[in-house]
Amino acid sequence: MGSKVRKIIYNFVYDIGANTLNIIEMMGYSMLLFLEVLYHSKAAFQKRSEIVKQMYYAGVKTFIVVSIVGLFTGMILALQTGLELKPYQQQALVGNIIIATLTREMAPFVTAIILIAAVGSTMAAEIGTMTVSEEIDALEMMAISPVKFLVMPRVIALAIMLPVATIYTNLLGSIGGGIVAYFQLDVSFDVYYTHVLDSLHFKATYVGLLKALVFGMMVSTISCANGLRATNGALGVGKATRNSVVSSFVMVLITGYYITALFYGK
Amino acid sequence: MIEFRNVTKILSGTKVLNNLSLKIEKGETFVIIGRSGTGKTVTLKHIAGLLEPDSGQILVDGQQINGTGKSQKDRLREKIGFVFQSGALINWMTVEENIALPLVEHKLYPPDEIKRIVEEKMELLQLTAARNKMPAEISGGMKKRASLARVLVRNPEIILYDEPTSGLDPVMSSLINTIINKIKEDHSITQVVVTHDMDSAYAIGDRIAMLYDGTIIQCDEPDGIRNTTNPIVRQFITGSLEGPIDIL
């Protein structure tokens, strides 16, 4: 019994240690990969058609889901805050709250989450499949850098498309908020949009877009890094995809906090 | 010339290559046979610089490939082509685009010249009808031929083949063997072929080496292998269940 418990504790500690080492190794690998992407970005013009193709996948193909999520994010925010403000007859302020929340935090975060699920996971699976089916080795044998050929166009495309999608989420979110304000909170569209424009600050907008830019580069790099490190066939591709989604999500949360702290903290 | 000097490689705790030494002469077709999982592909990947040995040296034309930087590896790889077992074609490109890929990426020739070279290789490998097809739409044999065409457009001095006839019907296997022999006759390229298809090994090999327990246990001309007295080689080439090879 004693040796069984010891074995369970040993395995538990071993797993924690092994996973921690894997996470640190993958973080290091992702950072080096990002530096390599920066180096190869000088060939961005040469790879413009691939970048545009990736932008299409990241933007156009996620258009509907971004629209729905953006609209409903604004609607939920308006309903939750409006119902709290209504007893004090302050529901007109819902426009201020929505635009401030969306531009600073919610829009880049929500958009990043959608793109992690829809685009990042696809990148990890696609590149992971190429890794396990020796296509990456084949590129190396042709002296074609997989980073220049595959990763750089994806990173640039998502770095462009995440801010664009964030602007769109801001717009849809504020429209959604306006609909709820009008139908549920008795706030006219005129009043709602006056308050929205009142609180639409330049700093909040550019900090939000900066976050989106950083998230875009981070999500695509992490996803591609996991794909390039995939091993063991279909099982490995699945693992790489799951790891890319989890790591991207955690990193978006952590980085989002630090960017906010950098611009709005003490 | 390709030379392995005391190469050892351990993968997942198993010694896949155990102090392996071998020399492959320029212009010969060297066939490596052996059971699945004995390190044949690992040997090829060491020549290509895709794997690094734990100890030992690998020399290609007198230049060491292991332990070198990416740029030196890329320079050596200009001489080497690798035909992967699955073809390893880029799955979102057509057959024609795949074949042209190395020339287009490195801008080695003007577009018209690239088109001409690709056309020539597609004709040689009977791929013209499949030029606009995606890799998922073509057979295993076509994938291997397209992969070989992609290698040939770069005029390599060495071609490495990983199981070129595995999973193919006998007619397609004969076609691949004929192509490998034609390449040797026309271009005197050094070819290293990994296979466990003995008909293919006899048809194409100048020399055949049997890899067993991480090392070469016999290396001889096809007739020498065919008439071997080594019990392990004999059991392998006859496919007998009785003999010294541990089936499990």
Please identify, among B121, B155, B189, the residue that sits at the C-terminal boundary of a domain: B155
Which residue pairs from A61-67 have beta carbons closer than 8 angstroms and sit at least 24 positions apart in sequence? A61/A118, A62/A114, A62/A115, A62/A118, A62/A119, A62/A165, A65/A114, A65/A118, A66/A111, A66/A114, A66/A165, A66/A168, A66/A169, A66/A172, A67/A168, A67/A172
**What was the pLDDT predicted at A64?**
94
Same domain, B167 and B231: yes
Range of the domain at B16: 1-79+160-248
Same domain, B140 and B180: no
Cα dihedral A27, A29, A35, A38 sign:
negative
Same domain, B98 and B198: no
Cβ <8 Å between A134 and B80: no
- Amino acid code (one letter) for A56: Y
Cβ <8 Å between A137 and B150: no
A-chain residues near B78 (CB < 8 A)? 143
A-chain residues near B147 (CB < 8 A)? 138
**What was the pLDDT predicted at B248?**
63
Same domain, B179 and B73: yes
**What was the pLDDT predicted at A19?**
87
Cβ <8 Å between A142 and B150: yes
Same domain, B131 and B237: no
Cβ <8 Å between B74 and A143: yes
Confidence band (pLDDT; 50, 70, 90) for A116?
very high
**What was the pLDDT predicted at A224?**
97
Same domain, B165 and B230: yes
Mean pLDDT of chain A: 94
Lookup result for tokens 């997942």: B12
Indicate the number of domains in chain B: 2
Substitution target in A141, A150, A154 with the highest count of B β-carbons within 10 Å is A141
Find the closest chain A residue to B71 by CA distance.
A143
B84 domain-assigned: no
pLDDT digits (tens, 9 = 90+) for A5-37: 999 999 999 999 998 898 899 999 999 999 999
Percent of chain B topping pLDDT 90: 71
For residue B180, what are its two tokens? 């490998």
Same domain, B117 and B238: no
DSSP-derived secondary structure letter, B107: T
List Cα–Cα distances, A98 to A82, A208, B179, in angstroms: 10, 14, 68
Same domain, B57 and B166: yes
pLDDT digits (tens, 9 = 90+) for A85-103: 999 999 889 999 999 999 9
**Residue A1 pLDDT more than 80?**
no
Confidence band (pLDDT; 50, 70, 90) for B202?
very high
Residue A36 in contact with partner chain B when CB distance is under 8 A: no
* pLDDT (average), residues B186-209: 92
**What was the pLDDT predicted at B75?**
87
B-chain residues near A144 (CB < 8 A)? 101-102, 105-106
Q: Which of A129, A137, A142 sits opposite B102 (nearest CB)?
A: A142
Confidence band (pLDDT; 50, 70, 90) for B196?
confident
pLDDT digits (tens, 9 = 90+) for B37-57: 889 999 999 999 999 999 999
Same domain, B17 and B67: yes
**Residue B90 pLDDT more than 70?**
yes
For residue B161, what are its two tokens? 């083949």
Q: Which of B78, B82, B154 sits opposite A138 (nearest CB)?
A: B82
Please identify, among B155, B170, B191, the residue that sits at the C-terminal boundary of a domain: B155
**Residue A2 pLDDT more than 80?**
no
**What was the pLDDT predicted at B185?**
87
B104 domain-assigned: yes
**Residue A160 pLDDT more than 70?**
yes
